[in-house]
Amino acid sequence: MYDDVTLFMTPSISRNARRLSGVTVRLLTCILLLLCQKCAAAFRRNGSAQYAKETYVKMGNTAELMEVYMETEKWEEAFLLLDQHPQMAHKVCVCVANVLLMWC
């Protein structure tokens, strides 16, 4: 990974990166997160749940990741994530109940 970073770190890029203020870095981070969110939403709309999942994992967006698991009925993954984030239990239980009702 270090080689990938150094490949793009020319002296001018390195010098400019060190000049960025904290506010600028936070702004760029917010823009990047918004772009990632838009990409993940587009992946979901177009049936590419795996790409959406990967994007949400990289973003650390567990709520949307759980939504993808429930939409695609990946219950094992959903319950593994639920073990780490028990505050999502109500949402998962309601979704599971709705799925079970459709099977009856």
pLDDT tens across 18-64, in order?
777 777 888 888 999 999 999 999 999 999 999 999 999 999 999 99
Q: What pLDDT is stored for residue 104 in this prediction?
A: 78
Distance (Å, rounded) from C-alpha 52 to C-alpha 41?
7
Total-model pTM? 0.73
Q: What pLDDT is stored for residue 88 in this prediction?
A: 94
Residue extents of the structural domains in the chain: 2-103
pLDDT band, residue 8 (cuts 50/70/90): low
Distances (CA, A) of 79 to 40, 53, 69: 21, 15, 9
Nearest residue to 49 (alpha-carbon basis) of 77, 86, 83: 77
pLDDT tens across 70-99, in order?
999 999 999 999 999 999 999 999 998 988
